[in-house]
């Protein structure tokens, strides 16, 4: 269940970052591309770390 929620969230965020919108950074060619890419990279690393942490066996 956690994978599905995180995966869907990542897809939605990716679409939001890469879909041009009225008046947003996506509407100006060449503007915001670097920041979008870096934000996506950071988010993907956060999700990867969260996923890795969830696989660590816990002592009972």
Q: Any idea where the domains of the chain sit in the sequence?
A: 33-60
- pLDDT for 9: 72
pLDDT at 28 over 50: yes
> What is the overall mean pLDDT for the chain?
64
Please tell me the predicted confidence (pLDDT) of residue 57.
64
2 pLDDT more than 50: no
What pLDDT sits at residue 1?
40
Determine the length of the chain. Answer: 60
Over residues 26-47, mean pLDDT? 66
C-alpha to C-alpha distance for 28 and 25, rounded to whole angstroms:
6
pLDDT: is 34 or 52 the higher one? 52
């Amino acid at each position: 269940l956690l994978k599905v929620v995180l995966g869907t969230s990542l897809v939605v965020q990716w679409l939001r970052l890469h879909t041009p919108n009225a008046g947003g950074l996506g509407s100006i060619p060449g503007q915001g591309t670097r920041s979008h890419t870096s934000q996506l990279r950071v988010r993907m690393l956060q999700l990867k770390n969260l996923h890795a942490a969830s696989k660590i066996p816990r002592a009972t």
